[in-house]
Amino acid sequence: MCMKEQNDILVTGGAGFIGAHLIKRLVKDGHRVVSLDDYSVGKKTNHVEGAIYYEMDINDIEKIGEKHSICAVFHLGNYSRIAPSYTENDKVWGTNLIGTYRVAEFCRKRNIKLIYAGSSTRFSSEGIEHSPYSFTKGMSVEIIKNYAKWYNLKYSICYLYNVFGPGYDSTPVPGYESVISVFEKQWKDGKSLTICGDGQQKRSFTYVEDVVDGFVKSWEYSENMEFQLNSQRQYTILEIAKMFSENICFIPERKGDRKESTSTNDNHIKFLDWKNSLTVEQWINQIKSSHNVNTMIKVEDTFRTIPEWPHTQVGSEVMINEGDVVDLGCLGWDWSGFFIGKKRVIGADPFCEEIEGAELYKGVVGPYDGNTRILYDGLCSSIISGKGHEVEMLSWKSFCQTFSIDKISILKINIEGGEYGLLNTMDSEDFLKIDQIAVSFHDWTNPLWEKQTLSTINLLEKNGFLVEKLECEWGWYLARKKPLENPK
């Protein structure tokens, strides 16, 4: 491992989609990070504060060694698409084969570990000879493994399977977008989703933060090993398309498309304790929930008073139950302030000030990880498309992980606020950790809110809650796992 204050970690392809997420994680963990990228696909808008960036060809990697003491190399800077590889010969061969040779030499000379982003095409039934891309990626693996035999090179190889997540559409180069990114854009534009061939091609999909976790864990693993970072579940392309829409059209298949994406071992589970934290279905549901927010909600300047909270109706039960109090949209702590000093209280609001005795996330907990815009009138805040303040947003799972939340006595959420769409992204495991959910709806006559109220109640009841409307202002509902037998 690296001495954080003495050595730098090099990430090739650091301005790309996955590279940016990896650098963000490494910087957060306290490491000094250097990126090498030729920006043929990567973007400077993907830069992470605290990292150092060099714009250069992968074959010039020795220039990095002249300026920095590198202790490990994460090699992501390869040519990374199948269909264009048939015509971009110099690029695919020069970057993948010769470039990986340069990286292996760089690591050999310094006796440092190489963590390589391999391609799952290596395990397809068509074999690595199916396209110039798959061939050069497969032979790059052979270079690394033989360097280990010949020169005792330390390595980990992480095979990637159709990575998705925030920023996966940050590469606007034709032919370099993922299938989910293409479907998302077509769906949002109201167009037919185009499927190449019959749509029966099978693929596995992996969330980008899970890929990053695999990279870091494989780096920390002491032995040379290959890891296939995937959920071991496959979907047909047609199944993925139907998660967005039934408006589908078929076009001729593309040269190089393989029929399946297989997984041949579970080393990532056995040796890295790797887990899949977000499925592709959950991600697509987040996309659709977020899009509905941005296209449907129109917030008027009608906020007058902070919602009255009926502590006497639920306060005693919250105190009896184990777990934390989570206040999403905590504003002036008017709601959760009742529990400060009695329970662990965690709030989330981009405009709230910190208060002694409570923990605060200065952002929004919403349908996805990334940024959003919030309309704030000094009293309440709501998501609105293209207007207001740009703030950070964490998904529910990321929020719980950040604050180490395992059990929740009560969760408060304003459905019309920045958290709109959040409940729809939760799965059964998320609901199991929550005893009570206090949900606020403004008693507006807007049909959207009436429909959303019924939809939310149905969702909560489906997940084992009993829902009742409380006698107070602003449309508060309380969802309990089970009725209180002996209320005080």
The contacts found for 287-290 with CB under 8 angstroms, 24 or more apart, are 287/184, 287/368, 288/244, 289/367, 289/421, 289/424, 289/425, 290/366, 290/367, 290/368, 290/372, 290/421
Collapsing DSSP states into helix, strand and coil, what is residue 325? strand
The residue type of 324 is D
Cα distances from 432 to residues 72, 149, 426, 440, 453, in angstroms, run 41, 49, 10, 21, 21
Evaluate whether 405 touches 324 at the Cβ level (below 8 Å). Answer: yes
Place of tokens 């920390």: 220
How far is the C-alpha of 117 from the C-alpha of 300, rounded, in Å?
A: 48
How far is the C-alpha of 261 from the C-alpha of 162, rounded, in Å?
A: 9
Q: Which residues of 261-292 are buried (b: 16+ CB within 10 A; e: fewer)?
A: bbbeeebbeeebebebebbbebbbbbbbbbbb
Evaluate whether 396 touches 424 at the Cβ level (below 8 Å). Answer: no
For domain 298-480, the CATH class is: alpha beta
| Tokens matching residue 165 | 């997540």
Collapsing DSSP states into helix, strand and coil, what is residue 368? coil
- DSSP state for residue 127 in the 8-state scheme: -
Evaluate whether 359 touches 403 at the Cβ level (below 8 Å). Answer: yes
Evaluate whether 161 touches 204 at the Cβ level (below 8 Å). Answer: yes
Alpha helices (runs of H) in 169-207, residue ranges in sequence order: 179-188
Could you tell me where in the chain the CATH 3.40.50.720 domains are found? 8-277
| Tokens matching residue 131 | 């396209």
pLDDT in tens, the chain (488 residues): 566 556 899 999 999 999 999 999 999 999 999 999 999 889 999 999 999 999 999 999 999 999 999 999 999 998 877 777 888 888 889 999 999 999 999 999 999 999 999 988 777 666 677 788 889 999 999 999 999 999 999 999 999 988 998 887 755 555 557 888 889 988 888 888 998 888 888 888 999 999 999 999 999 999 999 999 987 788 999 999 999 988 898 888 776 666 766 666 677 777 888 888 889 998 898 888 766 544 433 322 222 233 444 444 455 556 667 889 999 887 667 677 777 888 899 999 887 888 888 999 988 887 777 766 554 444 444 444 444 567 788 889 999 999 999 999 889 887 655 555 678 888 888 999 998 888 876 544 455 556 667 778 888 888 888 888 776 555 677 888 855 444 44
How far is the C-alpha of 297 from the C-alpha of 193, rounded, in Å?
A: 25
Give the number of C-alpha atoms closer than 13 A to the C-alpha of residue 405, restricted to the C-beta side. Answer: 30
Classify strands 434-440 and 476-480 as parallel, antiparallel or unpaired.
antiparallel
- Tell me the torsion sign for CA atoms 45, 47, 50, 55: negative
The residue type of 305 is T
Place of tokens 């990567």: 42
The second-level CATH assignment, the architecture, of 8-277 is 3-Layer(aba) Sandwich (3.40)
